[in-house]
Amino acid sequence: MKKYMLVTTKTNSRAGLESLTIGSDFQLSKPFNWQELQVWVQKLVDRGRKLEETNHQIERISKTHEITSTNEILSQRILKVVDDNLANPDFSIEHFAREAGMSNTGLYRKVMELTGYAPNDFVRQVRLQRAAELLALRAGNVSEIGYRVGFTSLSYFSKRFKEKFGVLPSAYRHRHEGSLLKVD
């Protein structure tokens, strides 16, 4: 950032106004004091550093916000792909990556970064969470709900559900009986 100083022999206020209108940052009248010049130069240097620091902070905040926004958008897209394929028991990582518009490796890295789960584990977690919601809503019996969220084996569904929630799906459903309205 360039700063301009006008050194002049004029000392009146009109000369000061003229110097500001032509773009100088300050005016120093002759004869001038070397100490005064040093103070002005130091003030300009300090002001420039502060402005530069502020610009860097704004840039960092912008980049952080941009990353957060990009991650939020990507998280929403990944979750939508999983939701759209929830009932598909043949939903593969290749299909997941293709629908998300990513390579298999890119999908693996991003899902791990965003969720802490490998893609297969993430899909299973979403399925189990949706199953719990459906059980609480009494949106079908346990086997219907298991199949609805993409499990092909009811014993595997029950085993994984118990691992996540600490109870079998039927016990979970009974625990939430009466807490929500039944959905048909």
What is d(CA 9, CA 80) in angstroms, rounded to the nearest whole number? 72
Q: Band of the pLDDT at 65, cuts 50, 70, 90?
A: low
Q: Could you report the per-residue pLDDT of 51-60, keeping only the tens digit for each?
A: 777 667 767 6
pLDDT of residue 52: 78
| The overall pTM is greater than 0.75 | no
76 located within any domain:
no
Tally the domains of the chain: 1
Question: Under 8 Å CB-to-CB from 96, ≥6 apart: which residues?
Answer: 81, 82, 85, 107, 119, 123
Residue span of the structural domain in which 124 resides: 120-175
Taking CA 175 as the corner, what is the angle to CA 172 and CA 178, rounded to the nearest 5 degrees?
125
34 located within any domain:
no
What is d(CA 160, CA 155) in angstroms, rounded to the nearest whole number? 9
Q: Band of the pLDDT at 181, cuts 50, 70, 90?
A: very low
Q: Assess whether the previous peptide bond of 119 is cis (omega < 30° from 0).
A: no
At 104, which helix (H) or strand (E)? helix 104-115
pLDDT of residue 6: 55
Q: Could you report the per-residue pLDDT of 36-55, keeping only the tens digit for each?
A: 778 878 887 887 787 777 66
3-state DSSP assignment of residue 5: strand
141 located within any domain:
yes
Q: Is the dihedral of CA 138, 142, 143, 147 positive or negative?
A: positive
Residue 26 pLDDT > 80, yes or no?
no
Q: Band of the pLDDT at 184, cuts 50, 70, 90?
A: very low
Q: Does 19 or 47 have the greater pLDDT score?
A: 47
157 located within any domain:
yes
CA dihedral 33, 37, 40, 46 (to 10 degrees): -140
pLDDT of residue 160: 96
> What is the chain's percent helix, strand, coil content, to nearest 5?
65, 5, 30
What is d(CA 42, CA 179) in angstroms, rounded to the nearest whole number? 70
What is d(CA 105, CA 108) in angstroms, rounded to the nearest whole number? 5
20 located within any domain:
no
Q: Could you report the per-residue pLDDT of 72-118, keeping only the tens digit for each?
A: 888 899 999 999 999 999 999 999 999 999 999 999 999 999 889 99
pLDDT of residue 180: 47
Q: Tokens in use for 84?
A: 């759209």
pLDDT of residue 18: 67
47 located within any domain:
no
| Residue in the block written with tokens 């890295």 | 109
pLDDT of residue 70: 80
11 located within any domain:
no
56 located within any domain:
no
Q: What is the CATH number of the domain that holds 146?
A: 1.10.10.60
Q: Could you report the per-residue pLDDT of 111-146, keeping only the tens digit for each?
A: 999 889 999 999 999 999 999 999 999 888 999 999
Gap between the terminal Cα atoms of the chain: 68
